[in-house]
Amino acid sequence: MDGTRHNLRVDGPRLWATIQETAAFGATPEGGVGRLTLSAEDGTVRDWFRDACEAAGLEVGVDELGTQFALRRGRDMSRPPIACGSHLDTQPTGGRFDGVLGTLAGLEAMRTLNDAGIETDAPVMVVNWTNEEGSRFAPATMASAAHAGLFTADDILSRRDAAGISVGEALDAIGYRGPETVGTRAIGAFVELHIEQGPILDAEGETIGVVDRCQGVAWYDGTVTGFESHAGTTPMPRRRDAQCGLAEVALAAEAIALAHAPTAVATMGEAVIAAPSRNVVPGRIAFTLDLRDPDQGTLDAMDAALRERIAEIAARRNLAITLDKIWSRAPVVFDAGVVAAVEASTRGLSLSHRRMVSGAQHDACNLADRVPTAMIFVPCRDGISHNPAESATQADCTAGADVLLQTLVALANAPQSGSTSVTGGIDANTQSSAEPSS
Amino acid sequence: MDGTRHNLRVDGPRLWATIQETAAFGATPEGGVGRLTLSAEDGTVRDWFRDACEAAGLEVGVDELGTQFALRRGRDMSRPPIACGSHLDTQPTGGRFDGVLGTLAGLEAMRTLNDAGIETDAPVMVVNWTNEEGSRFAPATMASAAHAGLFTADDILSRRDAAGISVGEALDAIGYRGPETVGTRAIGAFVELHIEQGPILDAEGETIGVVDRCQGVAWYDGTVTGFESHAGTTPMPRRRDAQCGLAEVALAAEAIALAHAPTAVATMGEAVIAAPSRNVVPGRIAFTLDLRDPDQGTLDAMDAALRERIAEIAARRNLAITLDKIWSRAPVVFDAGVVAAVEASTRGLSLSHRRMVSGAQHDACNLADRVPTAMIFVPCRDGISHNPAESATQADCTAGADVLLQTLVALANAPQSGSTSVTGGIDANTQSSAEPSS
């Protein structure tokens, strides 16, 4: 990385203007964005993105699931492109930054390279993945998952929304069923810039999260079954109270997460009493649990501890408690070389930073199964996301885009070898990024 | 009480036949009864009851809230009648015994007196109170409450069901808006036979509950407010998890009830998470609590302990927790003389028995505010009530009706004085019934 490139900076106001401009496509009265994947508004923002990329001299292709790939040619077109990007779809009541920042910062990086007249060795590319959010079609991050080989294109194309419209039909409706076969687009490395969607950077006053892994997650459906009885006539010792049993399960899950501090988290997000009545002891409750940790061994230990506690609660309270793991995703360790490149770029820009784990799932977590990948986080106010109140500062968005730009250039200009590792100012300790950092 | 009367027994099979006969009015496919108050089916069973009473030579009157009073004349018509009875309305998916047993056992007692040619000193009477259940019109036990002066007739007549029909309109529709002014019907004492609606007698193998009080109840609405956040990105120490806070409130209420064993009970019957999602930390939950105890001092102590615990939970977890008492009913101590008469009759019949507290509210609990009152419980299988599976044996129904009959005769033939106390085989210990017994 030479001095010229260390001084290279994006045009922060130009990036900010594109974020605000595209927020008009699906703008909500509360100041957020409602731009469900493959909706008319999504078609509009895709057209805008294609036109902007083509105006920047990029070659835009679309695959059969609608994912847009905008390529900037490099000196050595035999090398696979160094890619960045994120998504332009939002939650029904989403904000202006989730996904949008990473995609438009990629465009801004390309514009900056153009303005500086820089040609990279490997080509660079910005990607807009279809349906990251999963609000209209399940699963979330479906296009990047299909790219990584986790689903077939036919499977994804046949998924239907609540109105019965398939992904294929929705792609046709906005003209985005592209000609490229899913998974054939070459990618040499992938870097995704995203707002943190959590409170850590904002609370600790740091600008950049160098994300070296994505935690694993296990989703559970459960039930607590006791016996409905009269709130007035049933003595406490004779009760089989599903609500008190559920309460113990909720607190057990919390205690198990705390026993694996500081990384593990546990959430009982749903709990529904069957036929609730204020003067009836609850007899049956359905609940969900969400357990996450960056380490699979910890997730397995939490699963075992939870089942042991549940068996004890059920036996002591004469309840039947079920717990079914309905979905899980193993932890992902990002590529040490790409992580090091992000960290080196952050240091080169003298930005405050910390290693982080991605608490949420992102397209990058899927890509990591196939290509060297890492992520960059910037703060969002109070950690609020998936909400019209989602907010990030122009300065932080600019800083994140600068790190992204520097990382792309570093990776694209790195000597080609079997490894994606880059050199330059990275000490031995930093290279230990494959080990847990938080 | 002379020897003849000690040998007096109801006709068990005849009582059982009337219970099964009236179960046809509103019979449900599951074998239960759905006979909402003032419905067409309620009109049918009222007509049946009036005809049966008149056939037994009783004089049937109806008050302006539809309550039916069936009087059997006594030797001394200057004395107010000794009354029994209960209700013939049911829950939407109710059983065959709740309310029905006490009303039809009263009819059976009158028939038995007729068959034996017995004339009591005071008149005796069987009452069918309107709307005990409260499923269609609130409040429950509205007619007996109005009789006791807790509501005006106009207030009750103006109450509307979910379809907008008023009590007055519903009474007119089935022809049961009677001429008697509410509260003017003289009653010298009141005895209500009822299934326990709880598990104690069935579990302990006892036939008769001598009910000497009705516990007090306090109903609360509450909320737990934390902050909705991402289940993956929010570290445990930064969470304001409403579900974990709610869990602690549920277990605190349970612990407070257990601290006042064996009488106190606490129930969290409803708890609804706002906008639940499996990957969102719950931010707001609405809940209800139901606390009961036979002693007002204990209820007050439970209220204070609960508020103290909630304040501690809210402070420690950085939550806002509200708790509003929306309704309460003070404990009722039944009349020592009437309770003693029930107990003496039970002993005279050599039936296994125990003193009990009524855990549920009944018409008798209202009547006790105005006239000497007590209740008689018989077992129901597994304590199940308000359910098509509600079940009581013919032998237990017969035993309860025998106790009711003996008690009515004893009270109606007791020497008239300022007191309702009766004599005969009741020892000093039994007279202490005004003290808590459970």
Determine the distance in angstroms separating the CA of A403 from the nearest CA of chain B, rounded to an integer. Answer: 22
Tokens read off for A282: 């609850």
Q: With beta carbons under 8 A apart, name residues in chain B contacting A264.
A: 236
Each of the 438 residues of chain A gets a pLDDT tens digit; together they read 444 456 899 999 999 999 999 999 999 998 999 999 999 999 999 999 999 999 999 999 999 999 999 999 999 999 999 999 999 999 988 999 999 999 999 999 999 999 999 999 999 999 999 999 998 998 999 999 999 999 999 999 999 999 999 999 999 999 999 999 999 999 999 999 999 999 999 999 999 999 999 999 999 999 999 999 899 999 999 999 999 999 999 999 999 999 999 999 999 999 999 988 888 999 999 999 999 999 999 999 999 999 999 999 999 999 999 999 998 999 999 999 999 999 999 999 999 999 999 999 999 999 998 999 999 999 999 999 888 899 999 999 999 999 999 999 999 999 976 444 443 322 223 222 222 222
At B104, list the tokens. 């039809």
State how far the Cα of B270 lies from the Cα of B308, in Å rounded to an integer: 21
Could you give the ipTM of this predicted complex? Answer: 0.86
Q: Which chain A residues are Cβ-neighbours of B241 within 8 angstroms?
A: 254, 267
Q: Are A10 and A105 in contact (CB under 8 A)?
A: yes
From chain B, the residues in CB contact with A219 under 8 A are 278
Judged by CB atoms closer than 8 Å, whether chains meet at B279 and A271 is answered as no
Residue of B nearest to A281 (CA): B269
- 8 Å CB contact of A269 and B279: yes
Residues near B37 by beta carbon (within 8 Å), at least 6 away in sequence: B89, B130, B131, B132, B133, B135, B136, B137, B170
Q: Tell me which residue in B233, B250, B358 faces A244 most closely, judged by beta carbons.
A: B250
Chain B residues near residue A271 by CB distance under 8 angstroms = 243, 271, 273, 276
Which of A246, A251, A279 has the highest number of chain B CBs within 10 A, making it the mutation to test binding with B? A279
For chain A, state the CA radius of gyration.
24
Residues A88/A39, Cβ–Cβ less than 8 Å = no
| Nearest Cα residue in chain A from B293 | A232
Decide: residue A429, CB within 10 A, 0-12 exposed, 13-18 middle, 19+ buried.
Answer: exposed
How much is the pLDDT for A437? 26
Helix or strand holding residue B412 (H, E):
helix B394-413
Rounded CA-CA distance B311/B242 in Å is 14
Higher pLDDT, A92 or B375: B375
CA closest to A259 among chain B residues: B236
- Residues of B within 8 A of A385 (CB-CB) are 230, 233
What single DSSP character describes residue B99?
T
CB contact under 8 A, B267 and A231: yes
Paired tokens of A51: 């036109």
Cβ-based contacts of B325 with chain A (< 8 Å): none
Measured between beta carbons, the chain B residues lying within 8 angstroms of A270 are: 273, 276-278
CA-based nearest distance A248→chain B, Å: 7
SS3 A312: helix
CB contact under 8 A, A243 and B250: yes
Whole-number pLDDT of residue B437: 26
The two three-digit tokens of residue A419, written as one number:
């490894």
Residues B349-375 have a mean pLDDT of 96
Amino acid identity at B213: R
Mean pLDDT of B213-226: 96
Dihedrals phi, psi of A378, to nearest 5 degrees: -125, 160
Reported pTM: 0.85
Position A386, amino acid: H
Give CA angle at B185 (B180, B188), nearest 5°.
170
Render the burial of B255-264: b for 16+ CB within 10 Å, e for the rest. Answer: ebbeebeebb
Judged by CB atoms closer than 8 Å, whether chains meet at A243 and B217 is answered as no
Distance from CA of B334 to the nearest CA of A (A): 17
Longest dimension (CA), chain B: 83
Say which of B219, B230, B236 has its CB closest to residue A198. Answer: B230
Nearest to B231 among A235, A265, A272 (CB): A265
Task: Compute CA distances A76 → A80, A122, A125, B142, B325, whole Å.
Answer: 9, 5, 14, 88, 75
Alpha-carbon gap: A240 to the closest alpha carbon of chain B (Å): 11
pLDDT at B330 over 90: yes
Average the pLDDT over B114-123 and give the result: 98
Pick the closest to residue A283 from A229, A222, A221 (CA basis). Answer: A229
Domains by residue range for chain A, with CATH: 3-214+332-434 (3.40.630.10), 217-329 (3.30.70.360)
Query: Which residues from A are below 8 Å from B203, CB to CB?
Result: 238
- Chain A nearest CA to B168, separation (Å): 27
In a mutagenesis test of the B interface, which of A243, A354, A438 is the best target, namely the one with the most B β-carbons within 10 Å?
A: A243
Yes or no: say if A380 and A193 are a contact pair by the CB < 8 Å rule: no
Chain-chain contact of A273 with B276 (C-beta, under 8 angstroms)? no
What distances in angstroms separate CA A92 from CA A156, B21, B191, B282, one per listed residue? Answer: 21, 58, 62, 19
pLDDT per residue as tens digits for the range B143-193: 999 999 999 999 999 999 999 999 999 999 999 999 999 999 999 999 999
Is the CB of B230 less than 8 angstroms away from the CB of A271? no
Angle, vertex CA B81, rays to CA B79 and CA B84, nearest 5: 160
CA distances from A222 to A284, A288, A323, B15, B113 (A): 11, 6, 4, 47, 58
Q: How many CB pairs under 8 A join A and B?
A: 203
Task: Examine residue B262 and say whether the peptide bond preceding it is cis (omega within 30 degrees of 0).
Answer: yes
Residue of B262, B269, B280 with shortest CB distance to A231: B269
Whether B281 contacts B230, CB under 8 Å = yes
pLDDT band at B416 (very low <50, low <70, confident <90, very high): confident
User: CB A270 to CB B248 under 8 A?
Assistant: no
Is residue B420 pLDDT above 50, yes or no?
no
At position A312, the amino acid (one-letter code) is: E
pLDDT tens-digit map of B236-278: 999 999 999 999 999 999 999 999 999 999 999 999 999 888 8
Average model confidence (pLDDT) for chain B?
Answer: 93
Report d(CA B364, CA A209) in Å as an integer: 69
A386, B230: Cβ pair inside 8 Å? yes
CB contact (8 A) between residue B238 and residue A383: yes
CA angle, B331 then B336 then B342, to 5°: 105
Chain A residue with the nearest C-alpha to that of B292: A232
Q: Which two tokens stand for residue A378?
A: 């910037």
